[in-house]
Amino acid sequence: MVKGNQPGLLENVSAAFAEGRHAELPRFEHLDTSHGRLVTQITWTAPAGAAAPQGYFLRGAVNTEEWPNCKTLAMVASLRQVGDKTSDLEQRYYIASRDMTPETLAKAVRAHWAVENKLHWMLDVNFGEDACMVKKDNAPEILSLIRRVVINMLSLDTTQPSFTKKKLSKRQKRKFANWDEDIMRSILGIQPL
């Protein structure tokens, strides 16, 4: 996703889709009605730089010297409705290093956010990361890294304790590892001497 920390890139990509220039571009519409809300997303893609069809970019082609692998520019417009309340139209911009159709780009963006949301939920619910009061020096970054390593180790662990037949969640694995050193060793991959 192109963000404000790259103001020149953001300006160029947004200019490519400004003032209705994207009306002629291929697009993909996706409706999501899960979790009691209606989310409408429309994705447009266009070739980047000199490969763009004439007329699409009066200004705003991506500088191929700074972004040599950029092949696709994209805009995703989202509108969210919960009950009778509708959010403001949100536009996000993307660049990609391969040629992508609007549908493939939309699926890639949704897959990325699904992973992000799942990880954030895991960190907040199972580790209380948002409530963590540690703020001094590098401690927040170190704790965050440790939490992510633990999540990965719990994900990779395939051992099943003998006292249960059902598959354990990450939260349950953490709890049992606190109670039983054999389970902790198994998750950490440590063999007793």
pLDDT single digits (tens) 106-142: 988 888 776 666 777 788 877 888 888 888 899 889 9
**Is 126 a member of any domain?**
no
Same domain, 72 and 143: no
Of 85, 100, 115, which one is at a domain's C-terminal end?
Answer: 100
What length does the chain have? 193
**Is 22 a member of any domain?**
yes
**Is 2 a member of any domain?**
no
**Is 46 a member of any domain?**
yes
Q: What is the pLDDT of residue 25?
A: 82
Handedness of CA 50, 51, 57, 61 (dihedral sign): negative
Instruction: For residue 45, list its beta bridge partners.
Output: 74
Domain span holding position 57: 7-100
Write out residues in the chain with pLDDT < 70, as ranges.
49-65, 114-117, 160-165
Q: What is the pLDDT of residue 56?
A: 44
The answer to whether residues 57 and 75 touch, using CB atoms and an 8 Å cutoff, is no
Q: What is the pLDDT of residue 142?
A: 92
CB atoms within 10 A of CB 119: 13
The tally of domains found in the chain comes to 2
d(CA 105, CA 189): 38
Same domain, 92 and 168: no
**Is 40 a member of any domain?**
yes
Same domain, 50 and 95: yes
**Is 181 a member of any domain?**
yes
**Is 27 a member of any domain?**
yes
Q: What is the pLDDT of residue 104?
A: 92
d(CA 157, CA 185): 11
Residue with tokens 């009066």: 58
**Is 148 a member of any domain?**
yes
Same domain, 95 and 36: yes
pTM for this entry: 0.59
